[in-house]
Structure 1
């Protein structure tokens, strides 16, 4: 159910919104820059509230938090489907034909879509899975990660077909209806934690005296923020969100700047996805047995490899470095973002801690497209992003040497 809940967040994720970009911006009369800026501002605003929702997760549990997030996302999609009519109505009342009216409407709608979809529903669904497992947490997450990778990679094809058959307005309305139906499934099938049912993580009864009781070291958010591990893992995840979002957003432009075709640019997603699934599966299973600090180093090194690939994109070796680096980076992202937090800081305050980290990811994903664009339009090359990445990763690599698991 947690995995299906993450699927349900797709309409609020970049991969779900991007399919609606062209028909929506044309219908509203917005330029690509104006539409992108509305998306960026709405995403940035949502990041300030996502961390607060983590506290609500700890207080009320996944069931109610995910339910309200799903309802809010559904309502947002319904309003977005009639955004043109709303815009025209406000223009008539104000007696104005300014672009700021649809811009303001979409900024507000993007705020709710990103907050409820990318932020709260994803966080609550993933955390619920982690709450129910301890020793088998990595194994279970490997199954969930494979399903999520396949679901997210195929969703643009499904959504594009939906738009071609029904139009973008009806497509959003159908998605909203599906979310309202799923919200009732959440109430029926989501369960907050095993202790509510006299169970322990991994499905063991409290009354079984043969089972050794693992003493979790539950840290509050403030205590976690005082550790080096919180910042190193959080910042490397933010880097992954920044680089993958910016690179994906400008993928065609990045490759065309080095005289590659659109088809060649899009073609690299398949090998990246294959590598990511393989890495995610293996590392999730091994995460039950090895130190997660190893994953931190691997993620930093893969980021360096991908950044060098961006710098050397003019040569074939650059493409191989990009594919390998981004594949490993994406695969490890799902492991650290799900398994590491309860492993290092316990489950009691998992919502507050993961919610704070989610705000890092949302901010990074919001500023990435604009920063990539600025480097190309103002400085003349996407390569400057590679230099910026290497500097940031170099600092993190040195700072990560003293990372320790809390005792």
Structure 2
């Protein structure tokens, strides 16, 4: 029995460690070796194809004017850019505000059918050979379009992912600070994934695709940006990463709002793993499969399941030596820190040292809740964006 428990313990522990930081370390080492013989590519800013900037907005009257002014101020030849805003289903002043700007092509219908349907309805109106998608509640840096578009000079690139940056302040609660830390780590992984071969998905806040590669998305898709980008990968293209094209966004307004967002992403991630099962074949996709499993699949499947497995096996192995006792005490302290973070957050007391365990546990709980929603089919495809802190 102890041997069986030890096997479970080590399998679970190694799975968790590899998923959350082991892959990052391995990726960094591989990329460091690769840099020894491969020089960085020099990207040109002379590539200026016709592009379309598409914004799908639902009831974003608090942000839409800032978004429009930010979009019109981006550094890209005005004659080479089409601004296309889709406000389907919005029943606030969002469409009215967009109409005040003649440079913007507005598409609006009263029926709310979800972001996927809004994007698909707008795609036939796209005039650019590159379409850049960005959220209505984000602001882009001035050089974002030039920086993101230049990657398409490489014919092997089908998608380019920008970077998401969370605007944190000292007083932000654990959800916001944890979200910011998570995205900084994710950005590093994206940078190294890109250097190895391809980024594992695009940030929905800012990404671009070759218009000709777009294909209809299943109407019940929960994370359309992820599915859209990987369908292009299946065609033999790769996803590039551009950290100097970034979308700035306020953190989630509360822990509850951030959890809602994480559950939707988890449900969509599990759905995508099922629908993109071809990518799990290393004989067809090689290094893509290695990156996909390591960066995405394990996070949405084995790693969250391994956490309680490690805890229970560790408890039963208490009498097997001081090592297991130390590890178990460490686990208990980690989860107590997460619980304390939750309790203090409810009292609006913020301690930065608790951000990581608190956010880590919330993220993994979201996978369980997301898996349940996926099995029940109860996750709506309509806009369910987490409320963001207003500026």
Q: Judging by fraction of residues, say which structure has more helix.
A: 1
Q: Judging by fraction of residues, say which structure has more strand.
A: 2
